[in-house]
Amino acid sequence: MAGTVVVPEGSTMVKNPKDIVGFQLCDANNSSSCILYMFSSGVNAIQEWYKLHYMNIMAQIDNKEKEQMSYSAQELLLSCSFDGMSCDARNFTSFHHPLHGNCYTFNSGKDSPVLNTSTGGSEYGLQVILYIEEADYNPFLVTSTGAKIVIHGQDEYPFIEDIGTEIETATATSIGMHFTKSTRLSKPYSNCTEDGKDIPVENLYNKNYSLQRRGVLASYRRKKYPNWMFCYYKLHKEYVKEKLNCQQICKEACSLKEWTLTTSLAQWPSTVSEEWMLKALSWNRGTDSGTVLNKTDLANLMVFYKDLNERLISENPANNIVLLLANFGGQLGLWMSCSMVCVIEIIEVFFIDTSSIILRRRWQKAKKWWRDWRGGAGQEPGAGPEDGPQGHDNPACSGDDDLPTFNTALQLPLSPAGLAPRTPPPNYSTLHLDSAFEKQMPDTCEGGQAP
């Protein structure tokens, strides 16, 4: 690895090449393979260079030793309360960050039961006072004073560098939260993943996370690989140029949990209460009687739910089978005055009835062939009917189950007399009307007299 600050010639990133500063990394096995990193600001170049060496040194130290070198939970916490009850370092779980050192998770549920709150408001949230010793800061790595916090679920990994929220010293920071859960539709509506099992990338933290990029790049820091810095920066450069296809392989999650934060700041401690509060906190920390903490080394943090309402955002398909059939029927009724009953009848006419007619015709042909085959096989040579087909052999009297029609009626044989049967004439005598009275009534005669 080469650590020489270089100024490339012929650079087109800025107008004056002398304004460019950077460093060059080369492969330990191949000195001709190098990567050049350039910055327009010397501050950014120095910070990146020191961060690179810091991670290289810390990567060669065991995890237990690194945890002992950093602040413990007892040293970090001066005061703690949750839901109106006192809490301590036992409610925090530690994990080591390659750049920030020891980080602590409250209410992780790993070594103790998960704590719940039943009331919203700042009094029922988490209230802590943190001790941040500014004198221990590395001036080349960190140029600001404070702390970073990340609000996440118990099953999620916290990415402090990407989604961390900074809090100031000598300030009371109040963070109100609103919880939102979003659910998106998976295939075929989107390309998101439900559980991450369909992504061909190893889960580095055994927890849920969507920032797979950081996990892949951070894996080089954890391994004692002498050439890891060159590999890391080369991989990062290819990722920025989207040559690794990470955006296509690492899909977005279908289910997301999000906490909307509202931050407010206030001066803390106040001028009136500064003296007694610093003395009390110094006593709690166990410092010497003559030593009093400085307010620039302290940070007051309050995290709480504004309300306990949970907002759910879910995606639903704009069209499905039920809506498609309903819209299709509505359009038919609007433009063609047609309902679903009409559609069923049309289907019945074109498919069911047509199939029935074809099958019936084939059945009639099969019966005729069978009848002809049986008749030809049972007759003696030279024998035949005398007066044509009679009885059931008459085509007009076939065994079809259909009702007789006009054509089949014309094919019926005539009567033995040779005359077609006729309908007898009506008996007109039955149309004669008999009078109800034998004699005519006198008042019905002309002139009022009987004939």
Q: 10 Å Cβ neighbour count for 344?
A: 11
3-state secondary structure of 307: strand
Which of 128-137, 287-296, 424-433 is predicted most confidently?
128-137
Which of the two residues, 87 and 11, has the higher pLDDT score?
Answer: 87
Instruction: Read off the tokens for 129.
Output: 């006072």
3-state secondary structure of 129: strand
Q: How far apart are CA 81 and CA 129, in angstroms?
A: 10
User: At residue 431, does pLDDT exceed 60?
Assistant: no
Q: What pLDDT score does 174 carry?
A: 95
Between vectors from CA 67 to CA 66 and to CA 69, what angle results, nearest 5°?
65
User: At residue 383, does pLDDT exceed 50?
Assistant: no
Question: pLDDT band at residue 412, thresholds of 50, 70 and 90?
Answer: low
Q: Average pLDDT for residues 254-269, to the nearest whole number?
A: 90
Which of the two residues, 324 and 338, has the higher pLDDT score?
Answer: 324
User: At residue 129, does pLDDT exceed 90?
Assistant: yes
Q: How far apart are CA 322 and CA 126, in angstroms?
A: 49
Which of the two residues, 428 and 3, has the higher pLDDT score?
Answer: 428
Instruction: Read off the tokens for 183.
Output: 């659910």
Q: What percent of the chain has pLDDT over 90?
A: 15
Q: How far apart are CA 121 and CA 307, in angstroms?
A: 7
Q: Average pLDDT for residues 197-219, to the nearest whole number?
A: 61
Place of tokens 């990394």: 25
- Considering the chain, what is the average pLDDT of its residues? 76
Q: What percent of the chain has pLDDT over 70?
A: 73
Please say whether the beta carbons of 179 and 303 come within 8 A: no
User: At residue 360, does pLDDT exceed 80?
Assistant: yes
- Side-chain-facing half-sphere of 265: CA atoms under 13 Å: 8
Residues 209-261: pLDDT tens digits? 655 444 444 444 445 566 777 777 777 777 777 777 777 777 788 888 889 99
Q: Say which amino acid occupies 283.
A: W
Q: What pLDDT score does 218 carry?
A: 45
Q: Average pLDDT for residues 169-191, to the nearest whole number?
A: 90
Q: What pLDDT score does 149 carry?
A: 92
Q: Say which amino acid occupies 413.
A: P
Residues 33-51: pLDDT tens digits? 887 878 888 888 888 888 8
User: At residue 54, does pLDDT exceed 60?
Assistant: yes
Backbone angles phi, psi at 116, to 5 degrees: -125, 155
Question: pLDDT band at residue 13, thresholds of 50, 70 and 90?
Answer: very low
Please say whether the beta carbons of 228 and 59 come within 8 A: yes
Domains belonging to the chain, first-starting first, are 1-70+199-250 (no CATH), 75-194+253-342 (2.60.470.10)
Q: How far apart are CA 60 and CA 228, in angstroms?
A: 12
**3-class SS letters over the chain:** CCCCEECCCCCCCCCCHHHCEEEEEECCCCCCCEEEEEECCHHHHHHHHHHHHHHHHHCCCCHHHHHHHCCCHHHHEEEEEECCEECCHHHEEEEEECCCEEEEEECCCCCCCCCCCCCCCHHHCEEEEEECCHHHCCCCCCCCCCEEECCCCCCECCCHHHHCEEECCCEEEEEEEEEEEEECCCCCCCCCECCCCCCCCCCCCCCECCCHHHHHHHHHHHCCCCCHHHHHHHHHHHHHCCCCCHHHHCCCECEEEEEEEEEEEEECCCCCCHHHHHHHHHHHHCCCCCCCCCHHHEEEEEEEEEEEEEEEEECCCCCCHHHHHHHHHHHHHHHCCCCHHHHHHHHHHHHHHHHHHHHHHHHHHHHHHHHHHHHHHHCCCCCCCCCCCCHHHCHHHCCCCCCCCHHHHHCCCCCCCCCCCCCCCCCHHHHCCCCCCCCCCHHHCHHHCCC
Which of the two residues, 213 and 74, has the higher pLDDT score?
Answer: 74
Question: pLDDT band at residue 301, thresholds of 50, 70 and 90?
Answer: very high
Which of 56-70, 256-270, 323-337 is predicted most confidently?
256-270
Q: 10 Å Cβ neighbour count for 208?
A: 17
Q: What pLDDT score does 21 carry?
A: 79
Query: Which of 247, 221, 243 lies closest to 232 in space, CA to CA?
Result: 221
Query: Which of 193, 174, 343, 334 lies closest to 261 in space, CA to CA?
Result: 174
Q: Average pLDDT for residues 422-432, to the nearest whole number?
A: 60
